[in-house]
Chains A and B, each alone.
Chain A
């Protein structure tokens, strides 16, 4: 398994070094805004905040409430495209 983790570390490093990670992040953000994911989640945030009270909201509260919902709300097309790109990168640059 250390090989695995080593491999992962190496790949991650490569991702960052080549700037691919940033590119992927930006791509994902743009797509999520485009498909309305961000607005959906923001509306959910409002509910959470109203629930918890405006003054007492903490980051942890938000994170705990939002992240699972966020993961679930990502549309399939966006997910597929991102996976595709990651695989392509790995196929290109990872020595396997």
Chain B
């Protein structure tokens, strides 16, 4: 570059170069002056030496370059080997696992309820009371607590498949008691011994009050009463009746399901899932027995049936007795009875059904004026 400039014109160029250098020198001197002023000001104001550290402090914070230590001289995995005593279960837990263990141990935190309910379900399944000990099962979740973890690991996997809420629907319908016990346990995980309600611990009055509001069927597996509503689809009315008889004696007339036989006649179909089909067959028999509430997916018509029965009691009585198809109605009842569990197809049974109507008021009332019109036509 300089050669090019030199080649342009000799004397001018040298002068030009000199000029350039002069300009450059001026610029550099300006920079130096600037620095001097800055330093002088700092000295006079006393902050010039502030960024220096004295040799003592400098030695204190010297960079450490030893193996096993970081540059501050700390051991980085110092706390890993320490063990802490859990205040709850009094065990020695590794420090890095202490917080999760405490979560499970105290029953707080996000996953502890899930695991506890899972544990409970597996315990109830195996019917072994010793396993419901909190501490032992907590071990399953502590990775660093190797005692019994290996022998229980296989069992854990099967438990997971059985009791996790994500298992297949078929399992749920297969055993209604199990699923209900799992869900109820999920909500009542604090109550470790009593996921449902155990009838043994209740007095007769409590049992009575419970039975009037809940299904109450005693599960074979857990020996607990079903806490679902009276229309719980997993249990038939026959089951409910038998439970009431069992708990309160045969003379439990104060309960809505007193007329057991009649109930069985009219409502045996409630245990089926084919509520819609039974409904259609009933319509054909021009008799409207209690609609099965089992089929929750059933149409409105099925639920509508239950309502007109109660207020329209008198009408139905007249309908049955006056119509020539009264016998047919009884036959229809028995016809339906065959598909269910009980049969007592007779006119007496039919008339009794009307008597039992007022007792049915416990059922949820549903508006269905259209249904009564069908029977008007029949009449």
| A interface with B by C-beta (< 8 Å) | 4, 7-8, 11-12, 15, 21, 24-25, 28-29, 32, 38, 41-42, 45-46, 49, 54, 57-59, 62-63, 66-67, 70-71, 74, 79, 82-84, 86-87, 90, 96
B21 interface hit (Cβ, 8 Å): yes
Question: A79 contacts B12, CB within 8 Å?
Answer: no
User: B residues within 8 A CB of A45?
Assistant: 35-36, 39
* Whole-angstrom distance between the Cβ of A73 and the nearest chain B Cβ: 10
Of the residues B20, B29, B32, B48, contact of A83 by C-beta under 8 Å = B20
A29–B36 contact, CB under 8 A?
no
Assess the A62–B36 pair: CB atoms within 8 A: yes
Interface residues in B20-63 by Cβ distance below 8 A to A read: 20-25, 27-37, 39-40, 43, 48-49
Given contacts A57-B40, A59-B37, A83-B24, contact A25 B15 (CB under 8 A): no
* Contact assessment for A67 and B32 in the assembled complex, using a CB-CB cutoff below 8 Å: yes
Q: Are B33 and A79 neighbours in the complex by a CB distance under 8 Å?
A: no
Task: Write 14 A-B pairs (CB below 8 A) sorted by A numbering.
Answer: A28-B31, A29-B34, A38-B35, A45-B35, A58-B40, A66-B32, A67-B36, A71-B28, A74-B28, A82-B24, A83-B20, A83-B24, A86-B20, A87-B1
Q: Which of A4, A7, A28, A96 contacts B28 (CB 8 A)?
A: A28
Would you call B28 and A70 a contact (CB within 8 A)? yes
B106 located at the interface, meaning its Cβ lies under 8 Å from any Cβ of chain A in the complex: no
Docked Cα-Cα span, A49 to B43, in Å, equals 9
How many residues of B are counted as interface, with CB atoms below 8 angstroms from the partner's CB atoms? 28
The contact of A90 among B16, B28, B35, B37, by CB within 8 Å, is B16
| Top-4 shortest CB links A-B | A70-B32, A62-B36, A67-B32, A45-B39
Q: Are A49 and B23 in contact (CB under 8 A)?
A: no
Chain B residue nearest to A87 in the complex (CB): B20
**Bound CA–CA A74/B35 (angstroms):** 14
Q: How many Å from the CB of A48 to the closest CB on chain B?
A: 9
CB distance from A92 to the nearest CB of B (A): 13
A25 touches B40 (CB 8 A): no
Known: A11-B19, A24-B27. A57 touches B35 (CB 8 A): no
A15 partner, pick from B23, B25, B33, B43, beta carbons under 8 A: B23
Sample of 6 more A-B contacts, CB < 8 Å, known A87-B20, A90-B19: A25-B31, A59-B36, A66-B36, A67-B32, A70-B28, A70-B31
* A residues less than 8 Å from B20 (CB atoms): 83, 86-87, 90
Q: Which residues of A contact B85 (CB under 8 A)?
A: none
- Alpha-carbon distance between A66 and B237 when the two chains are bound, in angstroms: 106
Task: Provide the residues of chain B in CB contact with A49, threshold 8 Å.
Answer: 39, 43, 48
| A residues in contact with B136, CB < 8 Å | none
**B residues neighboring A (CB under 8 Å):** 1, 5, 12, 15-16, 19-25, 27-37, 39-40, 43, 48-49
Which residues on the B side are within 8 Å of A66 (C-beta)?
A: 32, 35-36
Question: Which listed residue (B28, B31, B40, B49) contacts A59, Cβ 8 A?
Answer: B40
A28–B27 alpha-carbon span in the complex (Å): 8
Which A residues are CB-close (under 8 A) to B25?
Answer: 71
B48 near A67: Cβ-Cβ < 8 Å: no
Separation of A11 and B32 alpha carbons in the complex (Å): 23
Nearest B-chain residue to A80, judged by Cβ: B1
Q: Given A8-B22, A54-B43, A87-B20 in contact, is the A96-B12 Cβ separation under 8 Å?
A: yes
Chain B proximity of A53: nearest CB distance (Å): 10
For residue B33, which residues in chain A have a CB less than 8 angstroms away from its CB?
A: 63, 67
Interchain CB contact under 8 A, B22 and A84: no
- In the complex, the answer to whether B31 meets A57 with C-beta atoms within 8 Å is no
Give CA–CA (A54, B39) in the complex, Å: 12
Q: A4-B15, A79-B24, A87-B5 are in contact. Are A57 and B43 (CB under 8 A)?
A: yes
Given A25-B30, A70-B31, A62-B39 contact (CB < 8 Å): yes
Give CA–CA (A71, B21) in the complex, Å: 13
Chain A residue at minimum C-beta to C-beta distance from B23: A86
Closest to B40 in A: A59
**Is A83 a contact partner of B21 (Cβ separation < 8 A)?**
yes
